[in-house]
Amino acid sequence: MNGYPVYVLQLFVYLVLMRVLEVAVINKIDFKKYVHYLLTELSAYYMIMLIFAYFGKWFSFNAGNLFWSTVIFWAIGGYMHYHFYAIRKTDAEEINDLLREV
C-alpha cells in the first residue's frame, strides 16, 4: 500500500502523536518562560516530523530539502505560536478591563 492514502494516514498519526505529546508530556512541565515552552514544543514536534518524513519518504533527504523543510517548519510553527499568543493576550486584556470596571 502506497500513495496518497498512506500519506494521509501517516499525517493523521503524526498529528495525533503531536497532540498526545503536548497533552501527556509538554503541558505537565512547569516552564518558567513562554519561550522555553515554545522551543521545547517545536523541537519535539520537529524531531517527530523528521522521523515521519524519513520513514514515510515525504521528501528526499538532502541538504537543500532538509534546510528548507527546517526553515518552513520553524517559520510556520513560530507564526502559529505568535498568533495564538496574541489572541490569548488580547483576551486577557479584555477580561482585565472588565474586572477593573466591576
Mean per-residue pLDDT over the chain, rounded: 89
Domain count, the chain: 1
CA distance between the termini of the chain:
62
Helices (H), the chain: 4-24, 34-56, 63-101
User: pLDDT tens-digit profile of 37-70?
Assistant: 889 989 999 999 999 888 888 888 899 999 999 9
User: What is the largest distance, in Å, between two alpha-carbon atoms of the chain?
Assistant: 62
62 Rama sector, left if φ>0, alpha if ψ -120 to 50, beta otherwise: beta
State which residues form the domain around 14. Answer: 4-101
pLDDT band at residue 75 using 50, 70 and 90 as cut-offs: very high
Q: What is the pLDDT of residue 1?
A: 57
Average pLDDT over residues 18-29: 88
pTM exceeding 0.85: no
Residue 88 cell numbers, joined: 490569548
